[in-house]
Amino acid sequence: MLEREPAAKVASALAAYLVDERRTRELPALIRDLEQLRFARDGVLEATAVSARELTAATRQAIQALLPASKVQLYTEIKPELVGGVQVRALDQQLDLTIRSKLQRLKNLTTKAA
């Protein structure tokens, strides 16, 4: 289907279907499935790096080098509330190196102990 129809048209039809069927919650899972399909077919791994500040080219390369694929399409996203560090999501896996998550783990220490 992807080969015959333009991607934007397919995406619009898919979005309309999800809205009509009230299954928009399944959108993230659907995207992951599509990413896995693309990774399996083309060997291209789509990844998202979320950080509090703009990432430098060297940092992006370091992130790409960490991922297990020869071709990596890295998307970046800025979220200041992460304070620092980076959160990398690829397929159904996630690597959280943000300061926010470490601080949250610190806050949850006593709750888990109790």
Partner 1 sequence: MINLLPHILANAEEPQGIAALGLDPVAIAAQAVTFLVAFWLIKKFALTKIVATLEQRRQTIDKGVLLGREMEAQKANLEARVAELLKQARAQADGIIADANQSAGQIIKAAEQQASQKVETMLADAHLKIEDDLKRARQSLEQEMLALVAEATEVIIDEKLNAQKDNSLIGRALAAVRR
Contact set with partner 1 (CB under 8 A): 51-56, 58-59, 62-63, 65-66, 83-86, 95, 97, 99-100, 103-104, 106-107, 109-111, 113-114
Smallest separation, CB 23 to partner 1 (Å): 36
CB atoms near residue 5 (< 10 Å): 11
Is the distance from CB of 72 to CB of 45 less than 8 angstroms?
yes
Nearer to partner 1, 56 or 70 (CB): 56
* Residue 39: CB minimum distance to partner 1, A: 21
* Dihedral sign, Cα of residue 68, residue 77, residue 99, residue 105: negative
Residues 6+ apart with CB under 8 A from 27: 18
CB of 53 to partner 1, least distance (A): 4
Nearer to partner 1, 10 or 62 (CB): 62
Q: Which residues pair with 87 in a beta bridge?
A: 50, 96
Query: In the bound complex, what is the minimum distance in angstroms from residue 111's beta carbon to partner 1?
Result: 7
Measured from the Cβ of residue 49, the count of other Cβ atoms closer than 10 Å reads 19
25 or 107: whose CB is closer to partner 1? 107
